[in-house]
A and B are shown apart, each in its own frame.
Chain A
Amino acid sequence: MPTAPYHDGHLSVWRGNDVLSFIDGLSTNHVLDLQEGQFRHTTFTTAQAKVIDRVGLFHMGGFVAVFSHGPYWDSLMAHISPRILGQDVTISNATDNNNFFVQFGVEGNEVGTFRASEGATVAHSRPHLNYIVASKNSQVSVDSTPSDFHEWRTHHLIPWQGFEITKKHHAFACGLGEDVHPSKGCYIGQELLTRMRTRGKMGRELVCVDTDDAPLKDVTTRGLSKSLAIVRL
C-alpha cells in the first residue's frame, strides 16, 4: 500500500462535555452519535455554504482528535472561536507532536473506524484511502510521494483540501456530498445546501476529465492523463 507524507496535516485535541454538540451544530455532518473508536468527516461552511475546512474526527474516548489542514486552521478558528461562548469545549494543538501521512490503494479498509498501534493511528477515511497520524517518535515507512497520491486520487475522483476543497466552492461542488447529512438539524450554510439538494441544482460539480481536454480555468488538479475540474452543470 503506497504511503506518502502529508505536510499540511493539523491535529487538535478537543475536550469537554459539549464537544460533539458544538461540532454538530456548526458543521454539515451528523456527529452527535459518534462513538469511541469511530472516525467521521464533517465540513465547516460559511453562511454561503462555502467550505472553510473539512475535518476528520477521531473519537478517542476521553476526547475528540480533530484532523484538519494547517493552512486553513486560522480560518477555522476564526469561525468557531467566537461561538464557543460558555460551552464546555477546550482545544489544544497537537500538530507539532505528530507527523501525517496518506495511505492509498488500500483494500478492504473499514470506513469510519480507526486503529492505533505503536503511536500511529490509522483512520479509514473512505474506500481505499487511510489517513495516518503518527507521533514523532514512531516509525512510518514512506514509499510514495505527494505527487503519486494526487495522481491516484485524480483517477478516483477524490477531492482534496486546497485543490478542490477551497472557500471558492460550496460542499457539493467540491465533491463533499457525502459529508452533508440529509436530515440533521440547522447549521451555518444548511439552508442553501438543503435547497440545492432538494431542487437537484448544485450549480457546479466535480468531474474527472482527460487532461488533454480539460478546460484550463476549471481544472483543480492536473494529472498526467486525467485531471479533476469543477465545472458548471
Chain B
Amino acid sequence: MDCGTCETAGPVQVMQPEVVDVGLTISDKAQTMLADAFGDDRSMALLVGVLSGGCSGYMYDLQIVEETDQSCQEITINGFRVLVPNASSHLLDGIEIDYVDRLMGGGFKINNPNADSSCGCGESFA
C-alpha cells in the first residue's frame, strides 16, 4: 500500500436513499418544552436527524441550531422551525416528536412509524 495506490482507488457506490417530503408532528408537551428552550427567539431551529450507531443501527440526533451545512427540508409548526436532513428523510417521514416527563429516561422522544424495533432507551432504532 502506498499513497499512489490509495489515490487512484475507484470509488465505491454507496446507497443513496430516496429523498421524501417529510411530514411530522410535535405533541403539545413537546411544543411547551421547545418554547422553554427557544424562548422568544424563533430564528433558531430544531434539527431532527439520524446518525449511524446505537444498539439498533440508527440513532436520533436532535439539536437546536441556527443554520446547518446539511441539505435540509424546513418545516414550520406553530412557529417552530424544524430542519430535517434530506439524507435521512426516508427514516423520519411521519414521526411524532413527543416529550416524556419523568426522572429517568425522560426528555424528547421520537415516535417513529418507520422503525421496526427500538432500543430500550429510545435513542436508537432499526
Report which A residues bind B (CB closer than 8 A): 11-13, 21-22, 24-26, 47, 58, 60, 63, 65, 77, 80-87, 90-94, 96-98, 116, 119-121, 133-136, 138, 185-188, 190-191
Q: List 19 A-B contacts (CB under 8 A).
A: A22-B53, A25-B53, A60-B6, A77-B14, A80-B52, A85-B51, A85-B85, A87-B51, A93-B11, A93-B12, A94-B9, A119-B5, A134-B1, A135-B2, A186-B55, A186-B119, A186-B124, A187-B53, A187-B55
Main secondary structure of the interface of A (DSSP, over half): mixed
Most buried by A among B5, B11, B124: B5
A-B contact count (CB 8 A): 111
Which listed residue (B4, B6, B56, B71) contacts A47, Cβ 8 A? Answer: B56
Q: Which B residues between 29 and 74 are near A, CB-CB below 8 angstroms?
A: 49-59, 70-71
Could you tell me if A136 and B17 are in contact, using CB atoms closer than 8 angstroms?
no
Cβ-closest 8 pairs across A and B: A25-B53, A86-B87, A97-B5, A92-B9, A83-B52, A94-B9, A133-B1, A81-B15
Residues in B with CB closer than 8 Å to A24 are: 53
Could you tell me if B53 and A119 are in contact, using CB atoms closer than 8 angstroms?
no
Could you tell me if B5 and A82 are in contact, using CB atoms closer than 8 angstroms?
no
CB of B87, distance to nearest CB on chain A (Å): 3
Which listed residue (B6, B15, B49, B56) contacts A82, Cβ 8 A? Answer: B15
CB of A24, distance to nearest CB on chain B (Å): 8
Which listed residue (B1, B10, B17, B53) contacts A116, Cβ 8 A? Answer: B1
Residues in B with CB closer than 8 Å to A65 are: 1, 6
Instruction: Give the complex CA separation of A11 and B5 in angstroms.
Output: 10
Query: Quick one: closest A residue to B72, CB to CB?
Result: A86
Could you tell me if B12 and A86 are in contact, using CB atoms closer than 8 angstroms?
no
Known: A86-B85, A121-B1. A25 touches B59 (CB 8 A): yes
Which listed residue (B5, B59, B71) contacts A136, Cβ 8 A? Answer: B5
Instruction: Give the complex CA separation of A20 and B86 in angstroms.
Output: 23
Could you tell me if A85 and B88 are in contact, using CB atoms closer than 8 angstroms?
yes
Known: A77-B14, A186-B124. A86 touches B55 (CB 8 A): no
CB of B116, distance to nearest CB on chain A (Å): 10
Instruction: Give the complex CA separation of A62 and B31 in angstroms.
Output: 43
Known: A81-B15, A84-B15, A98-B1. 8 other contacts (CB 8 A): A24-B53, A26-B53, A26-B57, A65-B1, A93-B9, A186-B53, A188-B56, A190-B55
Q: For the complex, is B77 an interface residue (Cβ under 8 Å from A)?
A: no
Instruction: Give the complex CA separation of A22 and B88 in angstroms.
Output: 15
Interface string of B84-97 (1 = CB under 8 A from A): 01111000000000
Residues in B with CB closer than 8 Å to A25 are: 51-54, 59
CB of B19, distance to nearest CB on chain A (Å): 11
CB of A43, distance to nearest CB on chain B (Å): 15
Instruction: Give the complex CA separation of A159 and B71 in angstroms.
Output: 44
Q: For the complex, is B20 an interface residue (Cβ under 8 Å from A)?
A: no
Residues in A with CB closer than 8 Å to B86 are: 86
Instruction: Give the complex CA separation of A94 and B3 in angstroms.
Output: 11
Could you tell me if B53 and A91 are in contact, using CB atoms closer than 8 angstroms?
no
Instruction: Give the complex CA separation of A77 and B11 in angstroms.
Output: 13
CB of A129, distance to nearest CB on chain B (Å): 18
Known: A77-B14, A81-B14, A188-B56. A116 touches B51 (CB 8 A): no
